[in-house]
Chain A
Amino acid sequence: MNDKILKKSKAFFDVYERKSGSDKLTTTYCPGCGHGNLHKLIAEALIDFNAADKSIFISPVGCSVFAYYYFKTGNIQAAHGRAPAVAVGAKRAHPESIVISYQGDGDLAAIGGLEILHAANRGEGITVFFVNNAIYGMTGGQMAPTTLIGQKSMTTPRGRTLKNEGYPIKMSEIIATLEAPVYVERVMIGDAKSIRQARKAVRKALKLQIEKNAFCFIEVLSACPSNLKMDPKQGIKWVQDVLQKYYPLGVKKDISEEFERKDVSRDNFDPSQLQNILNITESKIDKGKIEQFKNNEFTHEFRIAGFGGQGVLSLGTVLSEMGMRHDYQVSWIPSYGPEMRGGTANCSVKISDKKIGSPLVANPTVLIAMNGPSLDKFENDVISGGTIVYDSSLIDRKPIRDDVNIIPIPATKMADELGTTKAANMIIIGALIKKLGILSIDVVLDSLGEVMKNKKLVELNKKALLKGIEYIKSL
């Protein structure tokens, strides 16, 4: 078995052409470093499982940033900490591919803590190799989240303390608490026996992705002799004697037997159905009716305001949609955000036969006030000669202005008579249509079916509209 490990896998390039410098045959890894061994185990498994060609290797920031020098697989190099997120983008794009997310301890457990947690929690169909050597390697020996208490580093020159840095983090144990991960094991690049165990774990994890799209997490304790300021042998001994004590080896979770293959495929899509899916449908309104009616030379600017729940915003959208069906230019703009949730709502609508510049309404030609505060707030903004429509069943006072048309409608009371308070906004639309004369009653009634999202309400709204129209006639 060991012979096979020592032989160079076909998942590696023969010559490392991407590597800078003249030596294209050896890796950039220091003697005694675990990356080389782990790379070999992965490469060997990919060939044995006939998966190298369809593999995508995500390399992190850190010493293994150059994994693409060596692996003859698709290679995407990720930003610091983000390998699992990048892996998600790749795996979702190519569900049939084998995606390997490879990270060190700073990358995975510090700056990338969130990405690994959520990739694991979603059970992404990727394999994660986490190299834990308890130190930042490439940046020059700073403390890692996995650095042991008392361990000296460039940023813990007197040793890591509980007081200042807290406990080293045990990622395998954390990942194993989640529901979705299928197989979580901590292994070690130490003596031959431990490497054999690591090999088994690497192969099992990759196989589980190939066969079941299972999320597997393999933590690999590894030496960084250069930054530990030890020789390779001492480094490996330190991993075995010291690091392993805090990070016990072994399987932390394994539900691989009962885990059923995860379907990561995308849904089928028939491009000829695109218009239906996007609800893009041609209006069936009789163009003749529109042409017959069409008004020229007008711009109406509406401010529509009331309590949340009175249908203020939809009053605006329905009015706009009706305008659009008359081939007018229309715009609708809400007051949005927390305001919307705070109980009052208002929106601005413009309907014009000309191109609309600003969609904002400062001085409406028509104010629709559905409650008292709205009348108080906006009455003075209405242009001279404009119109104020207000719900006289909810507003006690009359508008003060004497230079505008005033139309009181007991819309809420009338809606209650129809059986639902919610129809008040439609009653007001009916009144407006009659009063303003810019929309054809015929076209509006024909359009209701297209405009209303809830088709059950079309008949009721038709009644409400007509009630509003009748009310204006009766004045």
Chain B
Amino acid sequence: MKGNSALTFFNLFVFILGFFSTYVLWNIGHPFLSIALAFFTIFTISVFSLNRFYTLRFLYPGLTTFLFLMVLPIFFTFVISLSNLSTGHFFDKDQVKDILLEESYLPDNPTFIKFKIYQTTNKKTLLVTNDDHYTELKDKKEYSLAPLVSRDIIQESRQLTPLEVISYFEKNQNIQFDHPDHFDELFLFYRSSKLANLRSRYLPLENDKIQNTQTGEIYTPDFEVGRYVSEIGHELMPGFYRWVGFSNYISLITNKDLRRSFINVFIWTMTWGFFSVFLSFSLGITLAIIVNDKNLKLKAVYRNLLILPYSIPFFISVLIFKGMLNKDFGLINEMLAFFSIPAVPWLEHGTWAKVACLMVNLWLGFPYMFLVTTGVLQSIPESLYDAAKLENAGPLTRFNKITLPLIMSAIGPLLIGSFAFNINNFVGIYLLTGGGPPMEGASTQVGKTDILISYTYRLAFEGGQGQDFGLASSIAVIIFMIVATITMFNFRWFKTENANA
């Protein structure tokens, strides 16, 4: 069958690709990843060749992207939140040890090795030391000197003048030389045509300890501070990351300053989410009822114009508003000045900034509520209202007893979804205020309009006071838990609504 041969070809392709990648991964030093990939390849081939996994074959594309690009990142976020990964703590302990062991210094009285440079007849450039070692210079950064067996090769070669030597090394800077007789690398004094042996600043000892060769101080990796620390308390940079358990979470509660920032951000996140939904829903439903009048002409025109703000990408609208809300030149203050109202510090003052965020988000969000409530209103049969009119129910009663309950049962889950969206509405906050104005006296980068997600972003990627991936990830995990709770609540709602129907 045609389908089967395509499937065989696909399996063969997966097999070759999978095991080639496994082999490559193993060779470049990722054994665990390589084994995991081998298992994954076997899994893929069995799904696509065994008939008992027929259903899984359909689910496979969605399932794998979901596992690798959703579940795994969430898991990694949690793992990072258990570490102190931050500025000054980017490497693991072994990497830090290697970095420190590579540090070297020029001792007070180094051994000098003079050298000369020759241009041979066949256009080679040779560096020859006076202790009979040589290397060929050819635009590299690192050279290893080798013993010179016979001086024949520099016979009839032209020796470069000191001036030519200097101009050569000025064109080719940062060159390193290794010498077989000297353990440490050599430092180049090209103006006087000599090499000097550098000395390593640290020597490795047992148990991961290192010793400073000048002072004799012994440094031990300290897992409390994530750095190499000596007996008398000297700390070495860079530090290494380490597992800190739940201390990022604990510090959000126990550290007085962090707690204050976190609680403020948390309260504003919830307030912002609630009012964003409440305001845009109220405005949306009002407009939907006004427009949804069978006697109103130009209904389609009104509908299409009312949703115009929603059709523009959010980031564009928010940036436009940022310009319009500018205190000194913005259009909005200019118009207020026309009515003799003094300039409002929209983005500079905490409370005004919050008002500005909510106003802009109302502008962005009401058309969505208008759209969905219009949809529900159109589906309510006219006969319901006629029956109510026969019972002498006024417009307000009709709204409260018919319209609102029907709309709520249809779009209740959407309101909760909208709340979940808005508490993570990064663009609505960050592009308008950048989280600012800054919260007074806070030790981290945090502002009065920061919501949890923008706080996470600023802790991790705004370098001002150093990046703190560990703390940022712990806040991201808290957001995950909030969204999960909301979703479960939504699911409950949806289930009971279905049971009632």
Q: Do A and B bind each other?
A: no
